[in-house]
Amino acid sequence: MRSINTRVLLAGAASLLLVSACNSDQNTEQKAKSAAPAVKEAAVATVNGTPITASRVDMIIKQRAAAGQADTPETRKLIIEELTMQTLIAEEAVKKGLDKLPDVTEQLDIIRKTFLANTYIQDFIKTNPVNDEMLKAEYDRIKATITGSEYKARHILVETEAEAKAIIAQLKKDATSFEKLAMAKSRDSGSSVRGGELGWFDVSRMVPEFSNAVSKLEKGHFTEEPVKTQYGYHVILLEDTRPIEAPAFEEVKPELAQQLQQQNLKKQIDDLKAKAKIEIIEVTAAVPAAVPAALPAPAAAPKEAAAAAGK
Protein backbone atom coordinates (compact mmCIF):
# COMPACT_ATOMS: atom_id res chain seq x y z
CA MET A 1 0.00 0.00 0.00
CA ARG A 2 1.79 3.09 -1.14
CA SER A 3 1.14 6.45 0.35
CA ILE A 4 0.92 9.52 -1.86
CA ASN A 5 3.13 12.30 -0.74
CA THR A 6 1.38 15.64 -1.47
CA ARG A 7 2.90 17.57 1.42
CA VAL A 8 3.61 21.21 0.61
CA LEU A 9 7.25 21.76 1.46
CA LEU A 10 8.57 24.71 3.37
CA ALA A 11 10.83 27.03 1.47
CA GLY A 12 13.76 25.94 3.64
CA ALA A 13 15.30 27.17 6.85
CA ALA A 14 16.78 30.27 5.26
CA SER A 15 13.46 31.23 3.71
CA LEU A 16 11.66 30.71 7.00
CA LEU A 17 14.05 33.04 8.69
CA LEU A 18 13.26 35.59 6.00
CA VAL A 19 9.58 35.14 6.72
CA SER A 20 10.26 35.75 10.38
CA ALA A 21 12.19 38.90 9.53
CA CYS A 22 9.36 40.13 7.31
CA ASN A 23 6.83 39.51 10.02
CA SER A 24 8.63 41.97 12.31
CA ASP A 25 7.27 44.87 10.25
CA GLN A 26 3.76 43.41 10.43
CA ASN A 27 4.05 42.89 14.16
CA THR A 28 5.08 46.52 14.63
CA GLU A 29 2.07 47.68 12.65
CA GLN A 30 -0.28 45.46 14.62
CA LYS A 31 1.09 46.76 17.91
CA ALA A 32 0.53 50.34 16.81
CA LYS A 33 -3.07 49.57 15.94
CA SER A 34 -3.78 47.60 19.09
CA ALA A 35 -5.29 49.51 22.02
CA ALA A 36 -4.20 46.88 24.55
CA PRO A 37 -0.53 46.91 25.59
CA ALA A 38 1.45 44.04 24.07
CA VAL A 39 3.17 41.54 26.32
CA LYS A 40 6.90 41.98 25.98
CA GLU A 41 8.49 38.73 24.88
CA ALA A 42 11.79 37.51 26.26
CA ALA A 43 14.76 38.35 24.06
CA VAL A 44 17.88 36.24 23.71
CA ALA A 45 19.76 38.99 21.88
CA THR A 46 19.26 42.44 20.39
CA VAL A 47 20.68 44.06 17.27
CA ASN A 48 20.62 47.87 17.35
CA GLY A 49 17.68 47.59 19.73
CA THR A 50 15.79 45.02 17.62
CA PRO A 51 15.06 41.97 19.80
CA ILE A 52 15.65 38.39 18.75
CA THR A 53 13.06 36.47 20.71
CA ALA A 54 13.35 33.11 22.40
CA SER A 55 10.21 31.95 20.60
CA ARG A 56 11.88 32.53 17.25
CA VAL A 57 14.85 30.42 18.29
CA ASP A 58 12.47 27.73 19.57
CA MET A 59 10.63 27.75 16.24
CA ILE A 60 13.85 27.13 14.31
CA ILE A 61 14.94 24.46 16.79
CA LYS A 62 11.63 22.69 16.24
CA GLN A 63 12.00 22.83 12.47
CA ARG A 64 15.55 21.51 12.55
CA ALA A 65 14.62 18.79 15.05
CA ALA A 66 12.24 17.43 12.41
CA ALA A 67 15.31 17.03 10.17
CA GLY A 68 17.19 15.18 12.91
CA GLN A 69 19.26 18.00 14.41
CA ALA A 70 19.61 17.80 18.19
CA ASP A 71 18.57 20.62 20.53
CA THR A 72 21.82 21.48 22.27
CA PRO A 73 23.28 24.67 23.79
CA GLU A 74 25.76 24.77 20.90
CA THR A 75 22.93 24.53 18.36
CA ARG A 76 20.99 27.33 20.04
CA LYS A 77 24.11 29.51 20.18
CA LEU A 78 24.70 28.97 16.47
CA ILE A 79 21.07 29.83 15.64
CA ILE A 80 21.26 33.02 17.70
CA GLU A 81 24.46 34.03 15.91
CA GLU A 82 22.80 33.35 12.55
CA LEU A 83 19.77 35.42 13.51
CA THR A 84 21.83 38.34 14.76
CA MET A 85 23.85 38.47 11.55
CA GLN A 86 20.73 38.07 9.48
CA THR A 87 18.97 40.87 11.34
CA LEU A 88 21.97 43.14 11.04
CA ILE A 89 22.33 42.58 7.30
CA ALA A 90 18.55 42.83 6.76
CA GLU A 91 18.54 46.23 8.48
CA GLU A 92 21.22 47.42 6.10
CA ALA A 93 19.20 46.12 3.17
CA VAL A 94 16.17 48.10 4.36
CA LYS A 95 18.27 51.24 4.78
CA LYS A 96 19.30 50.89 1.14
CA GLY A 97 15.68 50.41 0.10
CA LEU A 98 16.32 46.89 -1.20
CA ASP A 99 13.09 45.68 0.39
CA LYS A 100 11.21 47.87 -2.07
CA LEU A 101 12.75 46.33 -5.18
CA PRO A 102 10.15 44.50 -7.32
CA ASP A 103 12.11 41.25 -7.39
CA VAL A 104 12.56 41.30 -3.61
CA THR A 105 8.92 42.02 -2.81
CA GLU A 106 7.89 39.28 -5.25
CA GLN A 107 10.18 36.73 -3.59
CA LEU A 108 9.03 37.72 -0.10
CA ASP A 109 5.42 37.32 -1.18
CA ILE A 110 6.15 33.83 -2.56
CA ILE A 111 7.88 32.83 0.68
CA ARG A 112 5.00 34.18 2.78
CA LYS A 113 2.36 32.33 0.73
CA THR A 114 4.38 29.10 0.78
CA PHE A 115 4.63 29.26 4.55
CA LEU A 116 0.93 30.08 4.96
CA ALA A 117 -0.08 27.23 2.64
CA ASN A 118 2.06 24.81 4.59
CA THR A 119 0.62 26.05 7.88
CA TYR A 120 -2.91 25.60 6.54
CA ILE A 121 -2.16 22.00 5.57
CA GLN A 122 -0.62 21.23 8.94
CA ASP A 123 -3.66 22.73 10.67
CA PHE A 124 -6.07 20.76 8.47
CA ILE A 125 -4.35 17.48 9.28
CA LYS A 126 -4.33 18.36 12.99
CA THR A 127 -8.00 19.31 13.10
CA ASN A 128 -9.19 16.46 10.87
CA PRO A 129 -7.55 13.37 12.39
CA VAL A 130 -8.30 9.85 11.20
CA ASN A 131 -9.56 7.42 13.85
CA ASP A 132 -9.24 3.66 14.22
CA GLU A 133 -12.71 3.10 12.81
CA MET A 134 -11.80 4.91 9.60
CA LEU A 135 -8.49 3.07 9.39
CA LYS A 136 -10.10 -0.32 9.89
CA ALA A 137 -12.69 0.41 7.20
CA GLU A 138 -9.95 1.37 4.73
CA TYR A 139 -7.93 -1.71 5.68
CA ASP A 140 -10.92 -3.99 5.09
CA ARG A 141 -11.63 -2.31 1.74
CA ILE A 142 -8.07 -2.84 0.51
CA LYS A 143 -7.88 -6.33 1.96
CA ALA A 144 -10.97 -7.35 -0.03
CA THR A 145 -9.18 -6.43 -3.26
CA ILE A 146 -6.19 -8.69 -2.58
CA THR A 147 -6.57 -11.90 -4.56
CA GLY A 148 -4.43 -14.50 -6.24
CA SER A 149 -1.60 -16.74 -5.13
CA GLU A 150 2.07 -16.45 -4.39
CA TYR A 151 4.64 -19.04 -5.27
CA LYS A 152 7.73 -20.59 -3.74
CA ALA A 153 10.15 -21.76 -6.42
CA ARG A 154 13.73 -22.44 -7.41
CA HIS A 155 15.37 -21.82 -10.77
CA ILE A 156 18.54 -22.46 -12.69
CA LEU A 157 19.58 -19.73 -15.13
CA VAL A 158 21.92 -20.58 -18.01
CA GLU A 159 23.06 -18.79 -21.15
CA THR A 160 21.95 -21.19 -23.89
CA GLU A 161 18.95 -23.34 -24.66
CA ALA A 162 21.22 -26.36 -25.06
CA GLU A 163 22.53 -25.94 -21.50
CA ALA A 164 18.98 -25.71 -20.17
CA LYS A 165 17.90 -28.85 -22.06
CA ALA A 166 20.91 -30.75 -20.70
CA ILE A 167 19.94 -29.77 -17.14
CA ILE A 168 16.34 -30.85 -17.73
CA ALA A 169 17.61 -34.22 -18.99
CA GLN A 170 19.62 -34.66 -15.78
CA LEU A 171 16.62 -33.70 -13.64
CA LYS A 172 14.46 -36.29 -15.38
CA LYS A 173 16.96 -38.90 -14.22
CA ASP A 174 17.27 -37.45 -10.70
CA ALA A 175 14.79 -34.74 -9.68
CA THR A 176 16.44 -34.43 -6.25
CA SER A 177 19.59 -32.97 -7.85
CA PHE A 178 17.99 -29.58 -8.57
CA GLU A 179 19.71 -27.72 -5.73
CA LYS A 180 23.09 -29.22 -6.54
CA LEU A 181 22.75 -28.33 -10.23
CA ALA A 182 21.65 -24.79 -9.38
CA MET A 183 24.70 -24.24 -7.19
CA ALA A 184 27.01 -25.61 -9.88
CA LYS A 185 25.52 -24.18 -13.08
CA SER A 186 23.17 -21.25 -12.45
CA ARG A 187 24.31 -17.80 -13.61
CA ASP A 188 22.05 -16.13 -11.04
CA SER A 189 24.62 -15.50 -8.31
CA GLY A 190 21.97 -14.23 -5.91
CA SER A 191 20.03 -17.51 -5.80
CA SER A 192 22.61 -20.09 -6.89
CA VAL A 193 24.28 -20.09 -3.46
CA ARG A 194 20.90 -21.14 -2.03
CA GLY A 195 20.37 -23.91 -4.53
CA GLY A 196 18.34 -21.67 -6.82
CA GLU A 197 15.85 -20.70 -4.11
CA LEU A 198 13.78 -17.60 -4.87
CA GLY A 199 11.58 -17.72 -1.78
CA TRP A 200 7.92 -16.62 -1.84
CA PHE A 201 6.95 -14.16 -4.56
CA ASP A 202 3.98 -12.71 -6.40
CA VAL A 203 4.18 -13.49 -10.11
CA SER A 204 3.61 -9.81 -10.88
CA ARG A 205 7.18 -9.22 -9.67
CA MET A 206 8.60 -11.49 -12.36
CA VAL A 207 9.01 -11.05 -16.11
CA PRO A 208 5.95 -12.37 -18.04
CA GLU A 209 7.63 -15.47 -19.49
CA PHE A 210 8.80 -16.58 -16.05
CA SER A 211 5.40 -15.82 -14.46
CA ASN A 212 3.49 -17.76 -17.10
CA ALA A 213 5.71 -20.79 -16.69
CA VAL A 214 5.46 -20.80 -12.87
CA SER A 215 1.69 -20.38 -12.82
CA LYS A 216 1.25 -23.44 -15.06
CA LEU A 217 3.43 -25.76 -12.96
CA GLU A 218 2.13 -28.27 -10.46
CA LYS A 219 3.64 -28.38 -6.99
CA GLY A 220 6.85 -30.44 -6.98
CA HIS A 221 7.26 -30.31 -10.78
CA PHE A 222 9.85 -28.53 -12.92
CA THR A 223 9.62 -27.06 -16.40
CA GLU A 224 10.34 -29.68 -19.04
CA GLU A 225 11.14 -27.05 -21.65
CA PRO A 226 13.58 -24.15 -21.19
CA VAL A 227 11.90 -20.84 -20.31
CA LYS A 228 13.47 -18.03 -22.30
CA THR A 229 13.54 -14.50 -20.84
CA GLN A 230 15.67 -11.42 -21.37
CA TYR A 231 18.14 -12.87 -18.85
CA GLY A 232 18.72 -16.21 -20.54
CA TYR A 233 17.15 -19.67 -20.24
CA HIS A 234 15.53 -20.87 -17.01
CA VAL A 235 14.69 -24.25 -15.56
CA ILE A 236 12.10 -23.71 -12.83
CA LEU A 237 10.99 -25.94 -9.95
CA LEU A 238 7.73 -25.08 -8.15
CA GLU A 239 7.92 -26.02 -4.48
CA ASP A 240 4.68 -24.62 -3.06
CA THR A 241 1.79 -22.16 -3.50
CA ARG A 242 -0.46 -20.28 -1.10
CA PRO A 243 -3.10 -17.54 -1.25
CA ILE A 244 -1.78 -14.00 -1.02
CA GLU A 245 -2.50 -12.65 2.44
CA ALA A 246 -2.80 -9.02 3.45
CA PRO A 247 -0.32 -7.80 6.08
CA ALA A 248 -1.64 -7.44 9.63
CA PHE A 249 -3.66 -4.31 10.40
CA GLU A 250 -1.22 -3.06 13.04
CA GLU A 251 1.67 -3.49 10.61
CA VAL A 252 0.22 -1.11 8.02
CA LYS A 253 -1.74 1.16 10.36
CA PRO A 254 0.78 4.08 10.29
CA GLU A 255 0.96 4.04 6.49
CA LEU A 256 -2.81 3.77 6.22
CA ALA A 257 -3.20 6.80 8.51
CA GLN A 258 -0.90 8.84 6.30
CA GLN A 259 -2.70 7.67 3.17
CA LEU A 260 -6.13 8.63 4.54
CA GLN A 261 -4.82 12.00 5.70
CA GLN A 262 -3.53 12.67 2.21
CA GLN A 263 -6.83 11.59 0.66
CA ASN A 264 -8.77 13.91 2.99
CA LEU A 265 -6.36 16.73 2.25
CA LYS A 266 -6.67 16.23 -1.50
CA LYS A 267 -10.46 16.32 -1.22
CA GLN A 268 -10.29 19.55 0.78
CA ILE A 269 -7.97 21.18 -1.75
CA ASP A 270 -10.14 19.97 -4.64
CA ASP A 271 -13.18 21.53 -2.91
CA LEU A 272 -11.34 24.82 -2.46
CA LYS A 273 -10.31 24.77 -6.10
CA ALA A 274 -13.87 24.02 -7.25
CA LYS A 275 -15.26 26.99 -5.30
CA ALA A 276 -12.53 29.40 -6.39
CA LYS A 277 -12.49 31.47 -9.53
CA ILE A 278 -9.17 30.53 -11.08
CA GLU A 279 -8.12 31.84 -14.45
CA ILE A 280 -4.91 30.54 -15.99
CA ILE A 281 -3.51 33.05 -18.42
CA GLU A 282 -1.05 31.37 -20.75
CA VAL A 283 2.13 33.32 -21.25
CA THR A 284 4.24 32.45 -24.24
CA ALA A 285 7.91 31.83 -23.60
CA ALA A 286 10.44 34.35 -24.76
CA VAL A 287 11.62 33.63 -28.27
CA PRO A 288 15.38 32.89 -28.32
CA ALA A 289 17.58 34.98 -30.51
CA ALA A 290 17.69 33.67 -34.07
CA VAL A 291 20.87 32.09 -35.39
CA PRO A 292 22.32 34.24 -38.19
CA ALA A 293 21.39 32.78 -41.57
CA ALA A 294 25.02 32.85 -42.71
CA LEU A 295 26.05 30.39 -40.02
CA PRO A 296 25.28 26.75 -40.84
CA ALA A 297 23.70 24.61 -38.13
CA PRO A 298 26.25 22.32 -36.45
CA ALA A 299 26.23 18.74 -37.70
CA ALA A 300 25.00 16.11 -35.25
CA ALA A 301 27.56 13.73 -33.84
CA PRO A 302 27.32 10.19 -35.29
CA LYS A 303 25.79 8.73 -32.10
CA GLU A 304 23.30 11.58 -31.78
CA ALA A 305 22.31 11.29 -35.42
CA ALA A 306 21.73 7.57 -35.04
CA ALA A 307 19.62 8.12 -31.93
CA ALA A 308 17.54 10.74 -33.69
CA ALA A 309 16.93 8.31 -36.53
CA GLY A 310 15.82 5.66 -34.08
CA LYS A 311 18.80 3.41 -34.76
- pLDDT tens-digit map of 230-250: 999 999 999 999 999 889 999
pLDDT band at 204 (very low <50, low <70, confident <90, very high): confident
Beta carbons within 8 Å of 246's beta carbon, 6+ residues apart:
139, 142, 143, 146
CA within 13 Å, CB half, 171: 23
| pLDDT at residue 201 greater than cutoff 50 | yes
| pLDDT at residue 218 greater than cutoff 70 | yes
pLDDT for position 42: 85
Which backbone phi and psi does 201 adopt, to 5 degrees? Answer: -150, 155
pLDDT for position 30: 42
| pLDDT at residue 9 greater than cutoff 90 | no
Beta strand segments in the chain, E: 43-47, 50-53, 149-158, 197-202, 227-229, 232-243
- Give the 3-state secondary structure of residue 236: strand
pLDDT for position 156: 98
Distance, CA of 22 to CA of 109 (rounded, Å)? 10
pLDDT for position 296: 42
Cα 120 to Cα 57, 116, 270, 286, distances in angstroms: 22, 6, 14, 35
| Tens digit of each residue's pLDDT (9 = 90 or more) over 12-59 | 333 334 434 444 444 434 444 444 445 577 899 999 999 999 999 999
- Among residues 26, 263, 40, which one has the least CA distance to residue 138? 263
Is the pTM higher than 0.85? no
pLDDT for position 1: 41
- Give the 3-state secondary structure of residue 53: strand
The answer to whether 31 and 51 are in contact (CB under 8 A) is: no
pLDDT for position 116: 96
Beta carbons within 8 Å of 90's beta carbon, 6+ residues apart:
21
